[in-house]
Each structure stands twice: as structure tokens, then as C-alpha cells.
Amino acid sequence: MFWLLMFLLDAAADVPPLLGHKNVDFEISVKGAPEEGDRMLVVYPWSLSNGTPTAEVGVVLPSVNLRFGRRTDGEPAFWLVPSDQLAELIRLEESELRAWFEGEAAMKCEGDTPRPIFEVPVTVPDTLVQGFELEIEPGHGCTVRLTDTPLAMRLTEPSAGCRCATVGALGWAGTLSLLGVLGLRRRRD
């Protein structure tokens, strides 16, 4: 029964949007992100996955928006990492990444974080871009400030956290399936 419930909760993530809503792409742009130097800005956890949730590293460049998939495993945050370790970092497995970011080489930035949102009213453009600005304080770390949040995000923003990786409320399809399974089970007893 436990596994069935877990399957239904996971399947609810793939239910089509509500009537009058649509799925959109989500991207971030960061002014002041270093293009070269001894540190690079990354987002971790991050993922392009729209299926199984994963926790990967997304490199942030000042001239290119970083796109998010709908299924990131965790709450995305900005980090400064040593440039000479970036290639190695990108090749690490998920379990190794978690340990690496808990170490001393990475510096977590203070301030705002990406808050991906993927379901919006149909009148909204097909891509939402959330804007940030990076301030690097030599010897003290980094701070990221939100500079631009599209109106659609302000109207539909969740109360806390990233909706892309969390199991949300059981949707209508999941609820009907669960009720059907429970009804069948009750008849057997």
C-alpha cells in the first residue's frame, strides 16, 4: 500500500496544468556573474530534468540565461566555486556533489535564491526569466539580490521553496486513483 501511495504522489507531478493554466520554461539571469577569474558562480542543486528529480551543478554566465527543468532535487542556491575545480565538479555523481558542497571549497552566497515556477495562466509568455545581481565582497563572500521578477511569478509564487522538486498536493487524478484503490481494498475486506 505504501508503494502505491508513493507512485500516485509521484504521478501527480505529471498531471496536466489546471484549466486556464499552462506549463512554461523557467530561466534565471545574473548580472555581475564572473565569466573568468578564480571563482565561478553556480547554482546547486540544479537540473534540466523534467522526469526524475536530480541534483546537478548549473554554471551561471553573465551573457546566457540558465534554464531549469521541472524536477530539481532540492532547493536551488547560488554558490561561488574555484574555477580550477569546475570541470571536475560537473563530472561528480549526485552523492559526491552533496559532500563536495558541504566542504570548504564552495562558498554559499547570501541573499535571494532562484524560485522556479512552471505553471502559470495561459496569458503569460512561454518563458519566465527571473533576474538577479551578484555582489562579490573579497574575503567576505557573495550576495545575490533579486532584481526582476515577472508579474506572472509574483501572482503565482508558492509561499516557500522550489515547486520544481517537491511533491506537492495530491492532484485530482491522484485523489481519484487513491479513492478508487481504497474502495477496491475495502470491498475485499
* Cis before 45? omega within 30: yes
Evaluate whether residue 70 is within a structural domain. Answer: yes
Evaluate whether residue 153 is within a structural domain. Answer: yes
**CB-CB contact of 46 with 72 (8 Å):** yes
Could you list the residue range(s) of the whole structural domain that residue 113 is in? 20-164
Evaluate whether residue 189 is within a structural domain. Answer: no
Evaluate whether residue 115 is within a structural domain. Answer: yes
- Domain count of the fold of the chain: 1
**CB-CB contact of 33 with 60 (8 Å):** yes
Cα–Cα distance, 66 to 148 (Å, whole number): 15
Q: Is residue 176 predicted with pLDDT exceeding 80?
A: no
Lowest mean pLDDT among 13-17, 38-42, 139-143, 181-185: 181-185
Chain center to CA of 164: 5
User: What share of the chain has pLDDT > 90, as a percent?
Assistant: 41
Of residues 89 and 151, which shows the higher confidence score? 89
Distances from the Cα of 56 to the Cαs of 68, 147, 152, 153, in angstroms? 11, 25, 27, 24
Evaluate whether residue 175 is within a structural domain. Answer: no
Evaluate whether residue 174 is within a structural domain. Answer: no
pTM over the 0.75 mark: no
* Ramachandran area for residue 154 (φ above 0: left; ψ -120 to 50: alpha; else beta): alpha
Cα–Cα distance, 30 to 129 (Å, whole number): 10
What pLDDT does 14 receive? 63
What pLDDT does 161 receive? 41
Of residues 166 and 10, which shows the higher confidence score? 10
Evaluate whether residue 63 is within a structural domain. Answer: yes
Secondary structure class of 54 (helix, strand, coil)? strand
Of residues 2 and 85, which shows the higher confidence score? 85
DSSP 71: -
Host H or E run for residue 173: helix 172-188
What pLDDT does 170 receive? 43
Evaluate whether residue 49 is within a structural domain. Answer: yes
